[in-house]
A = this chain, B = another copy of it.
Amino acid sequence: MSSKNSKANRRNFLKLCGLTSLPLMVPSLGLGSSILNEGQKFNPDVLDDDNQLINFVTDGLMFSPQERIQKLMEIDKLHPIKTDFYGNGGAISELEQAFAKLTGKEKAIFVPTGTMANQLAIKLLNKDNTKVIVPENSHIFRDEADAAQAVHNKRLIPVGKNKPHFNLQDLKDTIAYYNSGEVFKSGLGTIVIEHPVRRADGASVPLETIKSISNYCRENGYKLHLDGARIHIAAAYTKVSISEYASYFDTVYISLYKYLNASGGAILAGDAEIIDKMNHQIKIYGGTTYQNWDEAAMALHYLKGIEDRWQKATLVAKQIISSLNKLKEVTISDIDNHTNIYNLVLDESIDARKLAQTLSREYNILLRNPNSKGIVKFSINESILRKDTNYIINAWKKSIKHSRK
């Protein structure tokens, strides 16, 4: 595909997505209102041949269908893609082996969605028990439409309200509360940790907290599940390996479309005893899809070298943030235990809306709208490696100038 086609496709993409698909992204970002604004239309004329979007908005590269098809073609040239058959064989088997290795678990299995991976993990881990303790602000408690209760007959007990995550004492207090106050007990079988925490701007759970909870669970016979949808970004920032994180848990779910840029899909890794039961479970809940090599090939591609790329990305991000913080109009600050999300606040002299529009129209750089408190959630991802760092910094400087109220 020539670069001309690429530009044409980009134009199409922009036309198609600019106004219609972006507002649709809101749910995935867990916000109640539009995160991008109407004015963020692209100016196709600024696109050079290698034009690629830089976004400070989400987890990954935000491929258009055209870019995705192109990328699959490139991947196939490097390493011919083999088909799977209802999730068996081919690229899916490669993917499962790669994730078993990455997590250090006996087995890993492809699951079509993270919701299904989380739900089936707690179903299988919990056995005959009803109670599962989960973080109050976790995906499994607040973003899976009550699947645990409505479909899987589980009672989720939330812990850690108004905190990024719960700690061992919170957990013990909760268990004591239920053990002491209920006469006819149903069992507690499983504890869930989400790490990093999407609803806390990607904050990571400190390793010591994870270890203490893990030890407690093992001593008391509770199973521990990791919702590690975004574990790659935690590993990149904390320098703790995914296999070490995984070692503290019985099962680990990792998303394929956050930092691995697949079009969907999830991995669940754990002991063979659990993972071997998954195929049947996926089937009965209607998740046995025909061909999934597309997700597998993309995820495998981006899995290779991810540590190196993120080491580079975190350095580049530091540079960008440091430079922007030198501008009097911009303040970017850390959140506690942050990974790749920062709080960006603009000086009162700047029109945030105009800034976002300028960045997108002139430089193909996407920025979120400020939230109700005036904070722009500023997300780092691999797209900042697509251009020279100075290009990005200059784009900001110039756009700031053009965005005075």
Give me the interface of A with B, judged by CB distance under 8 Å.
Answer: 1, 9, 12-13, 16-17, 20-21, 24-25, 27-28, 30, 32, 64-66, 69-70, 72-73, 76, 80-83, 85-86, 88-91, 111-113, 115-117, 119-120, 128, 130-131, 142-147, 149-151, 153-156, 180-186, 257, 262-265, 277, 280, 283-294, 297
Contact = CB atoms under 8 A, between A and B. Distances in A.
Q: Which of A27, A69, A89, A150 has the most CB of B within 10 A?
A: A150
Given A12-B80, A80-B9, A144 B184 contact: yes
A64 B86 contact: no
B82 A287 contact: no
A310 to B, nearest CB: 21
Contact of A146 (B73, B82, B130): B130
Given A24-B88, A88-B24, A112-B112, A186 B83 contact: no
Q: Which of A1, A17, A69, A180 has the most CB of B within 10 A?
A: A69
Given A73-B1, A150-B186, A280-B184, A289 B65 contact: no
Nearest to A127: B128
Contacts of A117: 286
Contact of A20 (B89, B146, B185): B89
B186 A285 contact: no
Contact of A69 (B76, B116, B144): B76
B24 A183 contact: no
Contacts of A25: 85
Contacts of A69: 69, 72-73, 76
A72 B72 CA distance: 11
Contacts of A111: 286
Q: Which of A20, A146, A292 has the most CB of B within 10 A?
A: A146
Contacts of A80: 9, 12-13, 16, 65-66
Given A149-B155, A150-B155, A291-B264, A73 B73 contact: yes
B66 A21 contact: no
Contacts of A1: 73
B284 A147 contact: yes
A129 to B, nearest CB: 9
A47 to B, nearest CB: 16
B21 A83 contact: yes
B151 A151 contact: yes
Contacts of A16: 80, 82-83, 90
Nearest to A257: B290
A283 B82 contact: no
A21 B24 CA distance: 38
Given A112-B287, A291-B263, A145 B21 contact: no
Nearest to A22: B85
A1 B1 CA distance: 8
Contacts of A17: 82-83
Contacts of A76: 9, 65-66, 69
